[in-house]
Structure 1
Amino acid sequence: MTDYPLDTATRLARNADGSFISSGGAAYWNFQSAFGSWALALALEAVQAEGPRAGLLASAAAHFMKPLPEAGLALTVQTLREGRRTDFVRAEAFAGSDRAAPLFAADFVFSDAREGALDYVTGFPEVVPPEQSTLLPTSPGPRWLANYEQRLAVGKPFTAQEHPRTAAWVRDASGRPWDEKAILALSDTPMPRTFFLDPAPRFSATVSYDLHLLCTRAELEALGSDYLLVETDAPRVARGRFSQAVRIWSAGGLLIAVSHQLAFY
Protein backbone atom coordinates (compact mmCIF):
# COMPACT_ATOMS: atom_id res chain seq x y z
CA MET A 1 0.00 0.00 0.00
CA THR A 2 1.41 3.39 -1.05
CA ASP A 3 1.96 5.89 1.77
CA TYR A 4 0.74 9.07 0.08
CA PRO A 5 1.71 12.50 1.51
CA LEU A 6 -1.90 13.41 2.31
CA ASP A 7 -2.36 10.24 4.36
CA THR A 8 0.98 10.65 6.11
CA ALA A 9 0.16 14.27 6.98
CA THR A 10 -3.26 13.32 8.40
CA ARG A 11 -2.05 10.40 10.52
CA LEU A 12 -3.39 10.60 14.09
CA ALA A 13 -2.44 9.17 17.48
CA ARG A 14 -4.93 8.59 20.28
CA ASN A 15 -4.50 10.54 23.54
CA ALA A 16 -5.29 9.03 26.94
CA ASP A 17 -8.41 11.20 27.19
CA GLY A 18 -9.81 9.79 23.94
CA SER A 19 -8.92 12.78 21.78
CA PHE A 20 -6.49 12.63 18.85
CA ILE A 21 -3.14 14.35 18.32
CA SER A 22 -1.52 15.31 15.02
CA SER A 23 2.04 16.16 14.06
CA GLY A 24 1.71 16.30 10.28
CA GLY A 25 1.11 19.95 9.42
CA ALA A 26 4.61 20.73 8.18
CA ALA A 27 4.02 19.20 4.72
CA TYR A 28 0.91 21.37 4.30
CA TRP A 29 2.30 24.60 5.73
CA ASN A 30 1.08 27.86 4.20
CA PHE A 31 2.64 31.24 5.01
CA GLN A 32 1.88 31.66 8.73
CA SER A 33 -0.37 28.70 9.50
CA ALA A 34 -1.00 25.12 8.51
CA PHE A 35 -3.05 25.10 5.29
CA GLY A 36 -6.83 24.95 5.56
CA SER A 37 -6.96 21.95 3.21
CA TRP A 38 -4.90 19.96 5.69
CA ALA A 39 -7.16 20.95 8.60
CA LEU A 40 -10.27 19.87 6.69
CA ALA A 41 -8.75 16.52 5.75
CA LEU A 42 -7.42 16.02 9.28
CA ALA A 43 -10.84 16.67 10.83
CA LEU A 44 -12.44 14.12 8.50
CA GLU A 45 -9.72 11.61 9.40
CA ALA A 46 -10.49 12.11 13.10
CA VAL A 47 -14.21 11.62 12.50
CA GLN A 48 -13.60 8.39 10.58
CA ALA A 49 -11.12 7.16 13.19
CA GLU A 50 -13.70 7.68 15.94
CA GLY A 51 -16.12 5.44 14.07
CA PRO A 52 -16.39 4.74 10.31
CA ARG A 53 -19.56 6.16 8.78
CA ALA A 54 -21.81 4.02 6.61
CA GLY A 55 -22.76 6.90 4.33
CA LEU A 56 -20.60 8.94 1.97
CA LEU A 57 -19.56 12.44 3.01
CA ALA A 58 -22.40 14.74 1.92
CA SER A 59 -21.31 18.08 3.37
CA ALA A 60 -18.76 19.83 5.56
CA ALA A 61 -19.04 23.25 7.21
CA ALA A 62 -16.04 24.72 9.00
CA HIS A 63 -14.81 27.83 10.82
CA PHE A 64 -11.16 28.87 11.02
CA MET A 65 -10.77 30.91 14.20
CA LYS A 66 -7.00 31.10 14.77
CA PRO A 67 -3.80 30.04 12.94
CA LEU A 68 -3.07 26.31 13.10
CA PRO A 69 0.31 24.95 14.29
CA GLU A 70 2.44 22.46 12.37
CA ALA A 71 2.30 19.97 15.25
CA GLY A 72 0.53 19.42 18.54
CA LEU A 73 -2.97 19.96 17.19
CA ALA A 74 -5.46 17.98 19.28
CA LEU A 75 -8.86 16.97 17.91
CA THR A 76 -12.07 15.92 19.63
CA VAL A 77 -15.02 14.28 17.89
CA GLN A 78 -18.68 14.44 18.91
CA THR A 79 -21.53 12.59 17.22
CA LEU A 80 -24.47 14.99 17.13
CA ARG A 81 -27.01 12.57 15.69
CA GLU A 82 -27.01 9.14 14.09
CA GLY A 83 -30.03 8.60 11.87
CA ARG A 84 -31.22 5.68 9.80
CA ARG A 85 -29.72 7.21 6.65
CA THR A 86 -27.85 10.32 7.84
CA ASP A 87 -25.17 11.02 10.47
CA PHE A 88 -24.16 14.43 11.89
CA VAL A 89 -20.68 14.69 13.47
CA ARG A 90 -18.55 17.57 14.79
CA ALA A 91 -14.76 17.79 15.06
CA GLU A 92 -12.92 20.52 16.97
CA ALA A 93 -9.18 21.25 17.00
CA PHE A 94 -7.24 22.70 19.92
CA ALA A 95 -3.68 23.73 20.70
CA GLY A 96 -2.37 20.74 22.64
CA SER A 97 -4.07 20.20 25.99
CA ASP A 98 -5.75 23.62 26.00
CA ARG A 99 -9.50 23.01 25.61
CA ALA A 100 -10.61 26.57 26.44
CA ALA A 101 -11.41 27.53 22.84
CA PRO A 102 -11.03 25.67 19.53
CA LEU A 103 -8.76 26.97 16.79
CA PHE A 104 -10.85 25.24 14.12
CA ALA A 105 -14.20 23.42 14.05
CA ALA A 106 -16.00 21.42 11.37
CA ASP A 107 -19.44 19.83 11.14
CA PHE A 108 -19.86 16.85 8.81
CA VAL A 109 -22.95 15.19 7.33
CA PHE A 110 -22.76 11.63 5.96
CA SER A 111 -25.50 10.18 3.75
CA ASP A 112 -25.33 8.13 0.56
CA ALA A 113 -26.90 9.66 -2.54
CA ARG A 114 -30.18 8.14 -3.70
CA GLU A 115 -31.36 7.56 -7.25
CA GLY A 116 -34.26 9.84 -8.14
CA ALA A 117 -36.45 11.02 -10.98
CA LEU A 118 -34.55 14.28 -11.47
CA ASP A 119 -30.99 14.76 -12.67
CA TYR A 120 -30.06 18.35 -13.55
CA VAL A 121 -26.56 19.82 -13.78
CA THR A 122 -25.29 23.17 -14.98
CA GLY A 123 -23.04 23.28 -18.04
CA PHE A 124 -19.40 22.22 -18.01
CA PRO A 125 -17.15 25.25 -18.69
CA GLU A 126 -15.35 25.59 -22.01
CA VAL A 127 -11.65 25.34 -21.20
CA VAL A 128 -8.46 24.16 -22.87
CA PRO A 129 -7.18 20.69 -21.85
CA PRO A 130 -4.47 20.24 -19.19
CA GLU A 131 -1.62 19.91 -21.66
CA GLN A 132 -2.46 23.37 -23.07
CA SER A 133 -2.81 25.00 -19.64
CA THR A 134 -0.16 26.92 -17.67
CA LEU A 135 1.68 24.85 -15.07
CA LEU A 136 1.84 26.72 -11.77
CA PRO A 137 5.26 26.60 -10.07
CA THR A 138 5.74 25.50 -6.49
CA SER A 139 7.03 27.98 -3.91
CA PRO A 140 9.47 27.74 -0.99
CA GLY A 141 6.98 29.68 1.16
CA PRO A 142 3.70 27.74 1.08
CA ARG A 143 4.98 24.15 1.18
CA TRP A 144 1.53 22.68 0.48
CA LEU A 145 1.87 23.68 -3.19
CA ALA A 146 4.32 20.80 -3.74
CA ASN A 147 1.49 18.32 -3.06
CA TYR A 148 -0.48 19.31 -6.16
CA GLU A 149 0.08 19.68 -9.86
CA GLN A 150 -1.98 22.70 -10.91
CA ARG A 151 -2.46 23.92 -14.48
CA LEU A 152 -4.38 27.16 -15.04
CA ALA A 153 -6.73 26.97 -18.01
CA VAL A 154 -8.44 30.30 -17.24
CA GLY A 155 -6.94 33.28 -15.41
CA LYS A 156 -3.50 34.62 -14.58
CA PRO A 157 -2.44 35.46 -11.02
CA PHE A 158 -1.22 38.92 -10.02
CA THR A 159 -3.01 40.63 -12.87
CA ALA A 160 -5.96 43.04 -12.96
CA GLN A 161 -8.60 40.83 -14.58
CA GLU A 162 -12.08 42.18 -15.28
CA HIS A 163 -13.56 39.19 -13.43
CA PRO A 164 -11.74 37.06 -10.82
CA ARG A 165 -12.80 33.80 -12.47
CA THR A 166 -10.28 30.99 -12.87
CA ALA A 167 -10.30 27.34 -13.88
CA ALA A 168 -7.43 25.02 -12.99
CA TRP A 169 -6.76 21.40 -13.82
CA VAL A 170 -5.49 19.80 -10.61
CA ARG A 171 -4.26 16.38 -9.58
CA ASP A 172 -2.37 15.04 -6.59
CA ALA A 173 1.36 15.25 -7.34
CA SER A 174 1.93 11.81 -5.78
CA GLY A 175 -0.74 10.15 -7.94
CA ARG A 176 -3.07 9.54 -4.99
CA PRO A 177 -6.58 8.52 -6.14
CA TRP A 178 -9.45 10.83 -5.32
CA ASP A 179 -11.73 10.05 -2.38
CA GLU A 180 -13.75 12.05 0.16
CA LYS A 181 -10.69 13.26 2.06
CA ALA A 182 -8.79 14.24 -1.08
CA ILE A 183 -11.76 16.13 -2.56
CA LEU A 184 -12.21 17.97 0.73
CA ALA A 185 -8.54 18.98 0.71
CA LEU A 186 -8.62 19.93 -2.98
CA SER A 187 -11.55 22.32 -2.52
CA ASP A 188 -9.42 24.84 -0.58
CA THR A 189 -6.55 24.96 -3.09
CA PRO A 190 -7.72 27.90 -5.28
CA MET A 191 -5.73 31.11 -4.81
CA PRO A 192 -7.41 34.13 -3.19
CA ARG A 193 -9.59 36.07 -5.65
CA THR A 194 -7.58 39.20 -4.85
CA PHE A 195 -4.68 37.64 -6.81
CA PHE A 196 -6.74 38.03 -10.00
CA LEU A 197 -7.83 41.64 -9.49
CA ASP A 198 -4.60 43.35 -8.47
CA PRO A 199 -0.97 42.90 -9.62
CA ALA A 200 0.14 43.46 -6.00
CA PRO A 201 -0.33 40.44 -3.69
CA ARG A 202 -3.19 40.88 -1.22
CA PHE A 203 -3.15 37.83 1.00
CA SER A 204 -6.25 36.47 2.72
CA ALA A 205 -7.39 34.07 5.43
CA THR A 206 -10.39 31.75 5.25
CA VAL A 207 -12.93 32.41 8.01
CA SER A 208 -15.84 30.14 7.10
CA TYR A 209 -16.10 27.30 4.61
CA ASP A 210 -18.56 24.73 3.29
CA LEU A 211 -18.52 21.86 0.80
CA HIS A 212 -21.27 19.73 -0.72
CA LEU A 213 -20.24 16.44 -2.32
CA LEU A 214 -22.71 15.76 -5.16
CA CYS A 215 -21.50 12.47 -6.62
CA THR A 216 -22.17 8.85 -5.75
CA ARG A 217 -19.57 6.53 -4.27
CA ALA A 218 -19.17 4.76 -7.62
CA GLU A 219 -18.64 8.06 -9.45
CA LEU A 220 -16.05 9.09 -6.87
CA GLU A 221 -14.14 5.82 -7.22
CA ALA A 222 -14.22 6.09 -11.02
CA LEU A 223 -12.18 9.33 -10.90
CA GLY A 224 -8.97 7.45 -10.18
CA SER A 225 -6.09 9.92 -9.98
CA ASP A 226 -7.02 11.88 -13.13
CA TYR A 227 -7.08 15.66 -13.40
CA LEU A 228 -10.09 17.44 -11.93
CA LEU A 229 -11.16 20.88 -13.06
CA VAL A 230 -11.49 23.41 -10.22
CA GLU A 231 -13.60 26.36 -11.39
CA THR A 232 -13.50 29.36 -9.02
CA ASP A 233 -15.16 32.80 -8.92
CA ALA A 234 -16.35 35.49 -6.52
CA PRO A 235 -19.44 37.71 -6.97
CA ARG A 236 -17.82 40.57 -5.04
CA VAL A 237 -14.42 41.44 -3.61
CA ALA A 238 -14.59 44.56 -1.44
CA ARG A 239 -13.99 46.07 2.00
CA GLY A 240 -11.52 43.46 3.11
CA ARG A 241 -13.56 40.35 2.31
CA PHE A 242 -14.80 38.13 -0.49
CA SER A 243 -17.06 35.11 -0.92
CA GLN A 244 -15.36 32.49 -3.09
CA ALA A 245 -17.37 29.86 -4.97
CA VAL A 246 -15.80 26.64 -6.28
CA ARG A 247 -17.08 23.94 -8.63
CA ILE A 248 -15.11 20.70 -8.95
CA TRP A 249 -15.59 18.76 -12.20
CA SER A 250 -14.33 15.43 -13.45
CA ALA A 251 -12.32 15.42 -16.67
CA GLY A 252 -15.40 13.91 -18.33
CA GLY A 253 -17.64 16.83 -17.30
CA LEU A 254 -19.34 15.42 -14.17
CA LEU A 255 -19.94 17.91 -11.35
CA ILE A 256 -18.35 16.27 -8.29
CA ALA A 257 -18.65 18.93 -5.59
CA VAL A 258 -19.28 22.59 -4.87
CA SER A 259 -17.65 24.71 -2.18
CA HIS A 260 -17.94 28.23 -0.77
CA GLN A 261 -15.85 30.22 1.64
CA LEU A 262 -15.71 33.65 3.22
CA ALA A 263 -12.19 35.07 3.38
CA PHE A 264 -10.81 38.28 4.91
CA TYR A 265 -7.93 40.07 3.16
Structure 2
Amino acid sequence: MPLHPFDEATALETAGEHTWQGRTSPAYGNMVGPFGGITAAQALSAVLRHPQRQGEPVALTVNFAAPLEDGPFEAIARPARTNRSTQHWQLELRQQGQAVLTGTAFTALRRDTWGADEHTMPSAPRAAEIPLPTARKRVEWVNRYEMRFIDGGFPEHWDGRDTGSSRTRLWVRDAPARPLDHASLTALSDVFFPRVWRRRATLVPIGTVSMTVYFHADAAQLAEVADGYLLGQAQAQVFRAGYFDQSAQLWTEGGTLLATTHQVVYYKE
Protein backbone atom coordinates (compact mmCIF):
# COMPACT_ATOMS: atom_id res chain seq x y z
CA MET A 1 0.00 0.00 0.00
CA PRO A 2 1.51 3.36 -0.99
CA LEU A 3 2.43 5.84 1.70
CA HIS A 4 0.18 8.81 2.32
CA PRO A 5 1.73 11.97 0.79
CA PHE A 6 2.13 13.40 4.31
CA ASP A 7 4.08 10.36 5.49
CA GLU A 8 6.28 10.51 2.41
CA ALA A 9 6.97 14.20 3.02
CA THR A 10 7.87 13.75 6.70
CA ALA A 11 10.01 10.62 6.23
CA LEU A 12 13.50 11.05 7.73
CA GLU A 13 16.57 8.82 7.64
CA THR A 14 19.08 8.67 10.49
CA ALA A 15 22.28 10.53 9.56
CA GLY A 16 24.18 10.59 12.86
CA GLU A 17 23.61 11.48 16.51
CA HIS A 18 20.67 13.91 16.81
CA THR A 19 20.66 14.23 12.99
CA TRP A 20 18.32 13.06 10.22
CA GLN A 21 18.23 13.49 6.46
CA GLY A 22 15.04 14.57 4.73
CA ARG A 23 13.95 16.25 1.55
CA THR A 24 11.23 18.60 0.41
CA SER A 25 8.13 17.17 -1.26
CA PRO A 26 6.60 18.58 -4.46
CA ALA A 27 3.23 17.42 -3.11
CA TYR A 28 3.45 20.27 -0.58
CA GLY A 29 4.91 22.92 -2.87
CA ASN A 30 4.02 26.56 -2.22
CA MET A 31 4.54 29.71 -4.27
CA VAL A 32 8.19 29.78 -3.17
CA GLY A 33 9.57 26.57 -1.67
CA PRO A 34 7.45 24.20 0.43
CA PHE A 35 4.33 24.87 2.53
CA GLY A 36 5.49 26.13 5.94
CA GLY A 37 3.25 23.71 7.80
CA ILE A 38 4.97 20.69 6.29
CA THR A 39 8.38 22.15 7.14
CA ALA A 40 7.31 22.61 10.77
CA ALA A 41 6.00 19.02 10.78
CA GLN A 42 9.34 17.77 9.43
CA ALA A 43 11.16 19.54 12.28
CA LEU A 44 8.82 18.00 14.86
CA SER A 45 9.23 14.58 13.21
CA ALA A 46 12.91 14.63 14.16
CA VAL A 47 11.87 14.97 17.82
CA LEU A 48 9.23 12.25 17.50
CA ARG A 49 11.82 9.85 16.05
CA HIS A 50 14.52 10.62 18.60
CA PRO A 51 15.40 7.58 20.77
CA GLN A 52 15.88 9.83 23.82
CA ARG A 53 12.46 11.49 23.59
CA GLN A 54 10.47 11.58 26.79
CA GLY A 55 6.73 12.26 26.71
CA GLU A 56 4.67 13.84 23.95
CA PRO A 57 4.69 17.29 22.32
CA VAL A 58 3.19 20.14 24.33
CA ALA A 59 4.64 23.10 22.42
CA LEU A 60 6.58 23.72 19.22
CA THR A 61 8.10 26.97 17.95
CA VAL A 62 9.78 27.25 14.57
CA ASN A 63 11.48 30.32 13.10
CA PHE A 64 11.84 30.42 9.33
CA ALA A 65 15.31 31.93 8.97
CA ALA A 66 15.54 31.59 5.18
CA PRO A 67 13.53 30.08 2.32
CA LEU A 68 13.85 26.29 2.12
CA GLU A 69 15.03 25.27 -1.35
CA ASP A 70 13.63 22.21 -3.09
CA GLY A 71 15.83 19.23 -2.35
CA PRO A 72 17.55 17.57 0.61
CA PHE A 73 17.95 19.06 4.05
CA GLU A 74 19.46 18.06 7.37
CA ALA A 75 17.20 17.97 10.46
CA ILE A 76 18.77 18.31 13.90
CA ALA A 77 16.87 17.66 17.14
CA ARG A 78 18.92 17.83 20.30
CA PRO A 79 17.56 17.47 23.86
CA ALA A 80 18.75 20.58 25.72
CA ARG A 81 17.50 19.48 29.13
CA THR A 82 15.61 16.49 30.48
CA ASN A 83 13.77 16.76 33.79
CA ARG A 84 11.69 14.18 35.62
CA SER A 85 8.58 14.74 33.51
CA THR A 86 9.58 17.40 30.95
CA GLN A 87 12.07 17.67 28.14
CA HIS A 88 13.28 20.69 26.18
CA TRP A 89 14.56 20.48 22.61
CA GLN A 90 16.67 22.59 20.25
CA LEU A 91 15.75 22.22 16.57
CA GLU A 92 17.38 23.16 13.31
CA LEU A 93 16.96 22.47 9.59
CA ARG A 94 20.06 23.06 7.50
CA GLN A 95 20.82 23.30 3.78
CA GLN A 96 24.26 23.84 2.27
CA GLY A 97 25.64 24.03 5.80
CA GLN A 98 23.44 26.97 6.85
CA ALA A 99 20.35 27.15 9.05
CA VAL A 100 17.06 27.68 7.21
CA LEU A 101 14.93 26.95 10.30
CA THR A 102 15.60 27.20 14.01
CA GLY A 103 13.23 26.22 16.78
CA THR A 104 12.44 24.72 20.13
CA ALA A 105 10.07 22.05 21.33
CA PHE A 106 8.77 21.02 24.72
CA THR A 107 7.66 17.45 25.42
CA ALA A 108 6.21 16.12 28.67
CA LEU A 109 4.64 13.17 30.42
CA ARG A 110 1.03 14.26 30.80
CA ARG A 111 -0.98 13.37 33.91
CA ASP A 112 -4.63 13.40 34.88
CA THR A 113 -5.68 16.68 36.50
CA TRP A 114 -8.72 18.91 36.74
CA GLY A 115 -9.37 20.67 33.43
CA ALA A 116 -11.76 23.01 31.63
CA ASP A 117 -12.04 24.58 28.18
CA GLU A 118 -12.65 28.33 28.30
CA HIS A 119 -12.32 28.85 24.55
CA THR A 120 -15.29 26.83 23.39
CA MET A 121 -15.97 25.85 19.81
CA PRO A 122 -18.19 28.31 17.91
CA SER A 123 -21.46 27.03 16.53
CA ALA A 124 -21.12 25.87 12.94
CA PRO A 125 -22.96 23.76 10.37
CA ARG A 126 -21.69 20.21 9.99
CA ALA A 127 -18.83 19.58 7.56
CA ALA A 128 -21.06 17.56 5.22
CA GLU A 129 -23.32 20.61 4.84
CA ILE A 130 -20.48 22.79 3.51
CA PRO A 131 -19.55 22.33 -0.17
CA LEU A 132 -15.94 22.05 -1.26
CA PRO A 133 -14.54 25.09 -3.11
CA THR A 134 -14.50 24.75 -6.88
CA ALA A 135 -12.05 27.57 -7.66
CA ARG A 136 -8.69 26.68 -9.21
CA LYS A 137 -5.99 26.03 -6.61
CA ARG A 138 -3.02 28.37 -6.94
CA VAL A 139 -0.43 26.13 -5.23
CA GLU A 140 0.04 22.38 -4.90
CA TRP A 141 -0.07 22.01 -1.11
CA VAL A 142 -3.71 23.12 -1.02
CA ASN A 143 -4.57 19.87 -2.83
CA ARG A 144 -3.34 17.95 0.22
CA TYR A 145 -6.23 19.27 2.35
CA GLU A 146 -9.99 19.11 2.20
CA MET A 147 -11.07 22.60 3.19
CA ARG A 148 -14.75 23.47 3.56
CA PHE A 149 -15.07 27.20 4.26
CA ILE A 150 -17.92 28.27 6.53
CA ASP A 151 -17.02 31.95 6.26
CA GLY A 152 -13.97 34.05 5.51
CA GLY A 153 -12.80 32.08 2.50
CA PHE A 154 -10.65 33.45 -0.26
CA PRO A 155 -11.96 36.82 -1.49
CA GLU A 156 -14.28 36.52 -4.46
CA HIS A 157 -12.59 39.53 -6.05
CA TRP A 158 -8.96 40.52 -5.51
CA ASP A 159 -9.79 44.21 -5.78
CA GLY A 160 -7.87 45.69 -2.83
CA ARG A 161 -10.95 46.58 -0.81
CA ASP A 162 -10.83 46.39 2.98
CA THR A 163 -13.20 43.57 3.95
CA GLY A 164 -13.31 44.74 7.59
CA SER A 165 -12.41 41.37 9.11
CA SER A 166 -9.66 38.79 8.72
CA ARG A 167 -11.55 35.93 10.37
CA THR A 168 -11.89 32.55 8.70
CA ARG A 169 -13.80 29.46 9.88
CA LEU A 170 -13.60 26.14 8.05
CA TRP A 171 -13.75 22.38 8.37
CA VAL A 172 -10.48 20.76 7.37
CA ARG A 173 -8.69 17.40 7.19
CA ASP A 174 -5.93 15.76 5.18
CA ALA A 175 -6.70 14.74 1.59
CA PRO A 176 -6.79 11.85 1.20
CA ALA A 177 -8.09 11.42 4.73
CA ARG A 178 -5.45 10.28 7.23
CA PRO A 179 -5.51 9.43 10.97
CA LEU A 180 -4.50 12.46 13.01
CA ASP A 181 -1.22 12.62 14.95
CA HIS A 182 0.99 15.38 16.36
CA ALA A 183 2.96 15.83 13.15
CA SER A 184 -0.12 16.19 10.93
CA LEU A 185 -1.79 18.44 13.53
CA THR A 186 1.28 20.70 13.26
CA ALA A 187 0.81 21.06 9.52
CA LEU A 188 -2.95 21.55 9.87
CA SER A 189 -2.22 24.46 12.20
CA ASP A 190 -0.79 26.35 9.23
CA VAL A 191 -3.52 25.79 6.61
CA PHE A 192 -4.99 29.27 7.17
CA PHE A 193 -3.96 31.53 4.31
CA PRO A 194 -2.35 34.86 5.31
CA ARG A 195 -4.83 37.08 7.11
CA VAL A 196 -3.71 40.18 5.23
CA TRP A 197 -5.03 38.60 2.03
CA ARG A 198 -8.43 38.11 3.63
CA ARG A 199 -8.54 41.61 5.14
CA ARG A 200 -7.21 43.51 2.11
CA ALA A 201 -8.28 41.25 -0.79
CA THR A 202 -4.82 41.83 -2.28
CA LEU A 203 -2.11 39.24 -2.97
CA VAL A 204 0.72 41.16 -1.35
CA PRO A 205 4.03 39.29 -0.81
CA ILE A 206 4.13 37.56 2.58
CA GLY A 207 6.29 35.19 4.58
CA THR A 208 5.78 33.54 7.97
CA VAL A 209 8.69 34.42 10.25
CA SER A 210 7.78 32.52 13.43
CA MET A 211 5.08 29.98 14.29
CA THR A 212 4.15 28.36 17.59
CA VAL A 213 1.76 25.45 18.12
CA TYR A 214 0.42 24.43 21.53
CA PHE A 215 -0.85 20.85 21.69
CA HIS A 216 -3.72 20.25 24.13
CA ALA A 217 -4.19 16.54 23.41
CA ASP A 218 -2.08 13.42 23.77
CA ALA A 219 -1.62 10.70 21.17
CA ALA A 220 -4.55 8.66 22.48
CA GLN A 221 -6.92 11.63 22.16
CA LEU A 222 -5.70 12.32 18.63
CA ALA A 223 -6.20 8.65 17.73
CA GLU A 224 -9.87 8.99 18.75
CA VAL A 225 -10.29 11.70 16.12
CA ALA A 226 -9.10 9.20 13.48
CA ASP A 227 -9.53 10.85 10.05
CA GLY A 228 -12.41 13.12 11.07
CA TYR A 229 -12.74 16.81 10.32
CA LEU A 230 -11.37 19.59 12.51
CA LEU A 231 -13.06 22.96 12.88
CA GLY A 232 -10.50 25.70 12.40
CA GLN A 233 -10.80 29.38 13.18
CA ALA A 234 -8.15 32.03 12.48
CA GLN A 235 -7.96 35.80 12.87
CA ALA A 236 -5.28 38.48 12.98
CA GLN A 237 -4.77 40.86 15.90
CA VAL A 238 -2.94 43.75 14.24
CA PHE A 239 -1.40 44.73 10.90
CA ARG A 240 1.41 47.24 11.38
CA ALA A 241 4.79 48.29 9.96
CA GLY A 242 5.13 45.30 7.66
CA TYR A 243 4.15 42.55 10.11
CA PHE A 244 0.93 41.00 11.40
CA ASP A 245 0.16 38.21 13.82
CA GLN A 246 -2.60 35.66 13.52
CA SER A 247 -4.03 33.21 16.05
CA ALA A 248 -5.93 30.04 15.28
CA GLN A 249 -7.71 27.19 17.04
CA LEU A 250 -8.53 23.64 15.96
CA TRP A 251 -11.43 21.68 17.51
CA THR A 252 -12.73 18.16 16.96
CA GLU A 253 -16.22 17.66 15.57
CA GLY A 254 -17.30 16.99 19.16
CA GLY A 255 -15.95 20.34 20.39
CA THR A 256 -12.63 19.35 22.02
CA LEU A 257 -9.91 21.96 21.55
CA LEU A 258 -6.85 20.09 20.21
CA ALA A 259 -4.41 22.87 19.37
CA THR A 260 -3.94 26.62 19.43
CA THR A 261 -1.39 28.37 17.25
CA HIS A 262 0.11 31.80 16.80
CA GLN A 263 2.35 33.17 14.09
CA VAL A 264 4.02 36.38 12.99
CA VAL A 265 4.02 37.11 9.27
CA TYR A 266 5.96 39.63 7.17
CA TYR A 267 4.06 41.45 4.44
CA LYS A 268 5.06 43.98 1.81
CA GLU A 269 2.93 46.71 0.29
Q: With structure 1 as the length reference, what TM-score do the two structures score?
A: 0.91
Of 165, 168, 179, the residue aligned with 1:166 is: 168
> Using the alignment, how far apart are the partners of 1:180 and 1:52 within structure 2?
18
1:226 correspondence with 2:231: no
Between 174-183 and 133-142, the greater mean CA deviation after superposition: 133-142
Who is 1:207 aligned against?
209
> Using the alignment, how far apart are the partners of 1:2 and 1:223 within structure 2?
22
Distance 1:110 1:196, change over 3 A: same
Who is 1:53 aligned against?
53
Who is 2:70 aligned against?
70
Deviation at 1:134, TM superposition (A): 4.4
The alignment of Structure 1 onto Structure 2 pairs a total of residues equal to 262
Q: Secondary structure, in 3 states, of the residue corresponding to 1:135?
A: coil
Between 29-38 and 124-133, the greater mean CA deviation after superposition: 124-133
Alignment of 1:106-145 (within 5 A): 106-137=103-134, 141-145=138-142
Distance 1:133 1:202, change over 3 A: farther
Q: Where does the alignment leave 5 or more consecutive residues of structure 1 unmatched?
A: none
**Contact 1:134–1:153 (CA under 8 A) maintained in structure 2:** no
Greater strand proportion: 2
What is the CA deviation profile of residues 210-262 of structure 1, one whole-angstrom value per residue up to 9, with x for unaligned ones?
Answer: 11111233321110100001110111123321100010100111111100000
Distance 1:162 1:85, change over 3 A: same
Deviation at 1:60, TM superposition (A): 0.2
Deviation at 1:26, TM superposition (A): 1.8
Alignment of 1:73-112 (within 5 A): 73-96=73-96, 98=97, 101-112=98-109
Who is 2:250 aligned against?
248
Q: Secondary structure, in 3 states, of the residue corresponding to 1:120?
A: coil
**Contact 1:44–1:181 (CA under 8 A) maintained in structure 2:** yes
What is the CA deviation profile of residues 173-223 of structure 1, one whole-angstrom value per residue up to 9, with x for unaligned ones?
Answer: 121100100101110110100121122222411001111111233321110
**Contact 1:178–1:225 (CA under 8 A) maintained in structure 2:** yes
Between 238-247 and 49-58, the greater mean CA deviation after superposition: 49-58
Q: Where does the alignment leave 5 or more consecutive residues of structure 2 unmatched?
A: 157-161
**How much identity, in percent, do the aligned residues show?**
26
> Using the alignment, how far apart are the partners of 1:233 and 1:77 within structure 2?
31
**Contact 1:77–1:92 (CA under 8 A) maintained in structure 2:** yes
Amino acid across the alignment from 2:228? D
Distance 1:194 1:43, change over 3 A: same
